[in-house]
Chain A
Amino acid sequence: MASGNEDRPGATSLTDAPVPDLAVPVARDRPTRSPGKIALDRLRSNLPAMIGLAFVVFIGLVAVFAPQIVDALGHPPNQTSVDHLTDNGLPKGHLSGISGSYLFGIEPQTGRDIFSRICYGARVSLGISLTATFLSMVLGLFFGSVAGFFPGKVDAGISRVMDLLLAFPGLLFTISLIGAVPDNVPRPVIIVLVLGGLGWPYIGRLIRTFVLSLREREFVDAARVSGAGEWRILFREVLPNLTGPVLTYTMLLIPGNVVAEAALSYLGVGIRVPTASWGSMLSDASAYYSVDPFYLVVPGLVLFLTVFAFNLFGDGVSEAFNPKSNR
């Protein structure tokens, strides 16, 4: 987990203690209850994790039903209205001009509804984060397991590519790459490709290590004896054993990508308005921190709570699947 150039520990992930512990193979013993069931039970009894999950579900619902929510409680997210602004473009009234009609206040200079933009922003922020994470996981799982399972040239080739990608100053490379892509490619697509495409070696390395050790296990030999092909063994026998670490890492990567989206916006290469994302809102609000701090706090708090919820849930998942790590 070499970190990139970001102002964030552990680069694209917010990885910490659990990762080294993941090196303990997961399918250790086979008790009467399946390990998955035990883990789920353990997760269910973890209160902070459940609170985190509840919030994640809540935000997910907001994202899914953003149009309905905004229809009922707000104004269309891109509708501008300078009537509520002073001649200099600041919202009239206190706390960003908060009112029953504008629940979280009004965006300076355009008069857009901050509440509506937060709801719609959930779609973009979560959408980008989930897709980028999914892309990283698919790539990492595929290349990591192939590298671990087929030693020699294949492994060497894939490992070198991973080394190269990990050597790049992550954020700098991301900014310059996004800047170099022609303007007509939609920003969300570029951001997903770049975050996902640069994030997979972290998981790839991890998976490779697991597969390396699993490859030597009896059940793999047994499958081989029964005449199964190598790819079949990899996908049917080896990979199912990686559920724990994959889940854990996914839960760490998602909030990491939410934060990365915000950092990209702040540095000028994120989602472009009028499309709302929490990152672009936070970045816009940072200009107003001294005259209208409430505007900064709204997207900042939403971003914080979401990442916090994901981390709480992620910790729970990690503990549930690797009981040794934290308790």
Chain B
Amino acid sequence: MARSSLALTPRVPRYATAAVAVCALALTAACGGGSSKTTDTSGSKGTVGGTLYYLSNSDFGHLDPARNYVTDAGDFGRLLYRTLTTYAPAGGIPGTKVIPDLATDTGTPSDNAKTWKFTIKKGLKYEDGSVITTKDIKYGVERTFSELLPEGAPYIKDALVGGDAYKGPYKDKAGLASIETPDDTTIIFHFKEPFADFPYAAALPGTAPVPQAKDTNTKYDLRPFSSGPYILSSYQVGKTFTMTRNKYWDRSTDKARGAYPDTVIGYVSLDGATIDQRMIADNGEDKNAVTFKLVEPENVTKVTSDPAIKSRVITGPDGSIVYTAMDTTKKPTSDIKVRQALEVAWPKKAARIAGGGPLVTGDFAHDVIPPSLSSHQDFNLYPTTDDAGDPVKAKKMLADAGYPNGVTVTVGVVATATGQKVAAVIKEGLAKAGINYKIQLIDASKYYDIIGTPAKQPNLVGYAWIADWPAASTVIPPLFTCGAIQPQGNINVSNYCNKDFDAKVAQAKAETDLKKADKLWGELDRKLVEDAVVIPRYYGKSISIQGSNIKNYWSALPFGGQVDVANVSVK
């Protein structure tokens, strides 16, 4: 899921060059991702009661499960609706494990994982006491096909048989034949190709049940019908919301949610800097407050040096990989030698200081697959002292490659304060290697349009990616294969197209043995760095402050390192 609002509002500079995370359910099974010490109280249990407050500088993009595809809405969506599967209530890697939610297990595949069957628990109820049926889950998935509700994750609808022609339930009354509901507790999905990761995809909000009678189409966003522990009892878009208990939610059927507070009140129109100040001050109801907002770079030193505040700071990997992509089709970055010289010259250390330091940016990255995925391997093909960059060596590399006078590369930089500062520092670092880093500032509103249009994009662009679930198959194929290149809205921003590479990707995707698959993904990862397709910069991190009364909290990897609101307690 996408970290919401990253860099798109002028004062929320998250990643250095612009990178704006895109989507992201995150991560996986191996290594703890990053060395930071995470304040983590997972395991302990919360106490029921009290009011939880939520402070934010941006409203949810969409709470309608068909449209919910960013981390903050994904996190809060779990309070309002349940899905076939969901993530385990824990911090770090254990929290990336998929567990059953509405379903009794994580699904039964057949026909080479082209068909998946789920049975849901008996006696589950909506907020009005009516029974949740698999027909409502089918209807919920069908809604994601409607042109009116386009924002959600595409995985399930792209994979379903007959999905190309289906227009959604408002236009197409017959429904989608590839989802069968033989009875009220069984649901069977038929996919075009093997879909081994379906239990992960089923944890996205798209599989939440929506009763047809309660569907208010585009207005559903403002008042989703609750199947989860809370009801959205009032909602002033862009300002505040209140959630109160859904008395028909049964704790005994739900292993994923603690749902401890009785009431959740959100203020979503606050100023980013003000949120930091309020969380630091920790007064009144702010003691009961959580926020997903990352600490502003200017406040990091303060919140991590004052012991009273530090104990309330929660940090951890957000599962992202932040990189600068190099266009492999445009001169001079079409020359691999130029790209490799850029890798060597890149002043990672200075850029990170300009970006606000390691706590707001992350650990230095040397490959594309972040450490939170099991396929990650530790290697560094372009080592320099302290990651400071080696302009002397890079200059020589360029001279040897036939550029004795250096090169000029254009770079797209999002016009936020931090984006511009980082670019200025990198420019000076690269200048020492004879590389003229020509900055093209782009308004935040146009950034993705310009860098996503290969005809318009500059040589270098900043990018960040969080996998939608913990598998390299949601990192490498969408970002680096020939088929991913689009004339508009492109995300293979290196325009990297290598038939041999694609063939190996297909091989890795088809590999069912996890160990063998990880090895294949690891080799592909190394190949990308060898070919200098991107300059890996950070394995992203998140840092936020919570109120002093907040207990039972952890940095939840599936939600970009945010607090898991379904499990915090205020007592």
Cβ of A287 and Cβ of B296 under 8 Å apart? yes
Which of B300, B359, B421 has a CB less than 8 Å from the CB of A110?
A: B421
Cβ of A109 and Cβ of B353 under 8 Å apart? yes
Cβ of A291 and Cβ of B299 under 8 Å apart? yes
Cβ of B425 and Cβ of A87 under 8 Å apart? no
- A183–B458 Cα distance when bound, in Å, is 13
Instruction: Please judge, given known A-B contacts A78-B424, A287-B273, whether A89 and B443 are in contact too, CB under 8 Å.
Output: no
Which of A82, A179, A272, A288 has a CB less than 8 Å from the CB of B298?
A: A288
Is A85 an interface position by the 8 A CB rule?
Answer: yes
Is A80 an interface position by the 8 A CB rule?
Answer: yes
Scan residues 252-301 of chain A and give those whose CB is less than 8 A from a CB of chain B. Answer: 268, 272-274, 283-284, 287-292
Instruction: Please judge, given known A-B contacts A82-B350, A88-B356, whether A109 and B443 are in contact too, CB under 8 Å.
Output: no
- A292–B300 Cα distance when bound, in Å, is 13
Which residues of chain B are within 8 angstroms of A268 by Cβ–Cβ distance? 10, 415, 444
Is B175 an interface position by the 8 A CB rule?
Answer: no
Which of A80, A109, A274, A289 has a CB less than 8 Å from the CB of B297?
A: A109
Is A86 an interface position by the 8 A CB rule?
Answer: yes
Q: How many residues of A contact B (CB 8 A)?
A: 28
Which of A80, A88, A108, A284 has the largest count of B CB atoms less than 10 A from its CB? Answer: A88
Which residues of chain A are within 8 angstroms of B358 by Cβ–Cβ distance? 87
Scan residues 77-102 of chain A and give those whose CB is less than 8 A from a CB of chain B. Answer: 78-80, 82, 85-90
Cβ of B418 and Cβ of A109 under 8 Å apart? yes
Q: How many residues of B contact A (CB 8 A)?
A: 37
Closest to A272 in B: B441
Which residues of chain B are within 8 angstroms of A274 by Cβ–Cβ distance? 420, 424
Closest to A287 in B: B298
- A194–B273 Cα distance when bound, in Å, is 30
Is B193 an interface position by the 8 A CB rule?
Answer: no
Instruction: Please judge, given known A-B contacts A183-B442, A273-B420, whether A86 and B350 are in contact too, CB under 8 Å.
Output: no
Is B302 an interface position by the 8 A CB rule?
Answer: yes
- A109–B421 Cα distance when bound, in Å, is 7
Cβ of A179 and Cβ of B301 under 8 Å apart? no
Which residues of chain B are within 8 angstroms of A110 by Cβ–Cβ distance? 354, 421, 424-425
Which residues of chain A are within 8 angstroms of B357 by Cβ–Cβ distance? 86-89
Q: Shortest CB–CB separation between residue A266 and chain B, in angstroms?
A: 9
Cβ of B446 and Cβ of A89 under 8 Å apart? no
Instruction: Please judge, given known A-B contacts A110-B421, A284-B417, A287-B273, whether A292 and B298 are in contact too, CB under 8 Å.
Output: yes
- A179–B447 Cα distance when bound, in Å, is 12
Q: Shortest CB–CB separation between residue A176 and chain B, in angstroms?
A: 11
Is B277 an interface position by the 8 A CB rule?
Answer: yes
Instruction: Please judge, given known A-B contacts A183-B446, A273-B424, A274-B420, whether A86 and B298 are in contact too, CB under 8 Å.
Output: no
Cβ of A86 and Cβ of B443 under 8 Å apart? no
Which residues of chain A are within 8 angstroms of B571 by Cβ–Cβ distance? none
Cβ of A89 and Cβ of B296 under 8 Å apart? no
- A109–B422 Cα distance when bound, in Å, is 8
- A86–B421 Cα distance when bound, in Å, is 15
Q: Shortest CB–CB separation between residue B300 and chain A, in angstroms?
A: 5
Is B486 an interface position by the 8 A CB rule?
Answer: no
Which residues of chain A are within 8 angstroms of B273 by Cβ–Cβ distance? 287, 289-290
Q: Shortest CB–CB separation between residue A60 and chain B, in angstroms?
A: 28
Cβ of A273 and Cβ of B296 under 8 Å apart? no
Is B378 an interface position by the 8 A CB rule?
Answer: no
Q: Shortest CB–CB separation between residue A184 and chain B, in angstroms?
A: 8
- A294–B354 Cα distance when bound, in Å, is 19
- A109–B10 Cα distance when bound, in Å, is 16
Cβ of B424 and Cβ of A287 under 8 Å apart? no
Contact string against B for A residues 56-75, beta-carbon threshold 8 Å, 1 for contact and 0 otherwise: 00000000000000000000
Q: Shortest CB–CB separation between residue A123 and chain B, in angstroms?
A: 19
Which of B298, B428, B442 has a CB less than 8 Å from the CB of A79?
A: B428
Q: Shortest CB–CB separation between residue B462 and chain A, in angstroms?
A: 16
- A82–B299 Cα distance when bound, in Å, is 18
Cβ of A80 and Cβ of B425 under 8 Å apart? yes
Q: Shortest CB–CB separation between residue B173 and chain A, in angstroms?
A: 43
Scan residues 228-245 of chain B and give those whose CB is less than 8 A from a CB of chain A. Answer: none
Q: Shortest CB–CB separation between residue B216 and chain A, in angstroms?
A: 32
Closest to A182 in B: B446
Q: Shortest CB–CB separation between residue A110 and chain B, in angstroms?
A: 5
Which residues of chain B are within 8 angstroms of A289 by Cβ–Cβ distance? 273
Q: Shortest CB–CB separation between residue A108 and chain B, in angstroms?
A: 7
Is B209 an interface position by the 8 A CB rule?
Answer: no
Closest to B347 in A: A82
Cβ of A85 and Cβ of B353 under 8 Å apart? yes
Is B355 an interface position by the 8 A CB rule?
Answer: yes
Cβ of A273 and Cβ of B443 under 8 Å apart? no
Cβ of A82 and Cβ of B354 under 8 Å apart? yes
Which residues of chain A are within 8 angstroms of B445 by Cβ–Cβ distance? 179
Is B97 an interface position by the 8 A CB rule?
Answer: no
Cβ of B424 and Cβ of A183 under 8 Å apart? no
Instruction: Please judge, given known A-B contacts A90-B301, A287-B11, whether A82 and B353 are in contact too, CB under 8 Å.
Output: yes
Which of B302, B356, B424, B446 has the largest count of A CB atoms less than 10 A from its CB? Answer: B424
Q: Shortest CB–CB separation between residue B452 and chain A, in angstroms?
A: 15
Scan residues 107-128 of chain A and give those whose CB is less than 8 A from a CB of chain B. Answer: 108-110, 112
Is B440 an interface position by the 8 A CB rule?
Answer: yes
Cβ of B11 and Cβ of A88 under 8 Å apart? no
Cβ of B297 and Cβ of A88 under 8 Å apart? yes
Which residues of chain B are within 8 angstroms of A284 by Cβ–Cβ distance? 417
Which residues of chain B are within 8 angstroms of A288 by Cβ–Cβ distance? 298
Which residues of chain A are within 8 angstroms of B440 by Cβ–Cβ distance? 183
Which residues of chain B are within 8 angstroms of A88 by Cβ–Cβ distance? 297, 300-301, 353, 356-357, 359-360
- A19–B420 Cα distance when bound, in Å, is 42
Contact string against A for B residues 271-310, beta-carbon threshold 8 Å, 1 for contact and 0 otherwise: 0010001000000000000000000111111100000000
Cβ of A80 and Cβ of B441 under 8 Å apart? no
Closest to A269 in B: B443
Which residues of chain A are within 8 angstroms of B359 by Cβ–Cβ distance? 88
Extra A-B contacts (17), CB below 8 Å, given A109-B355, A109-B418, A112-B424: A80-B425, A82-B354, A85-B353, A86-B301, A88-B353, A88-B359, A88-B360, A89-B297, A89-B354, A90-B301, A109-B422, A110-B354, A183-B441, A183-B442, A183-B443, A268-B415, A272-B441
Q: List 15 A-B contacts (CB under 8 A).
A: A79-B428, A80-B425, A87-B353, A88-B297, A88-B360, A89-B297, A90-B298, A108-B298, A110-B424, A183-B442, A272-B415, A273-B417, A274-B424, A284-B417, A287-B298
User: Which B residues form the contact surface with A (CB < 8 A)?
Assistant: 10-11, 273, 277, 296-302, 349-350, 353-360, 415, 417-418, 420-422, 424-425, 428, 440-446
State the 4 A-B residue pairs at the shortest beta-carbon distance, nearest first.
Answer: A88-B357, A82-B353, A268-B10, A109-B421
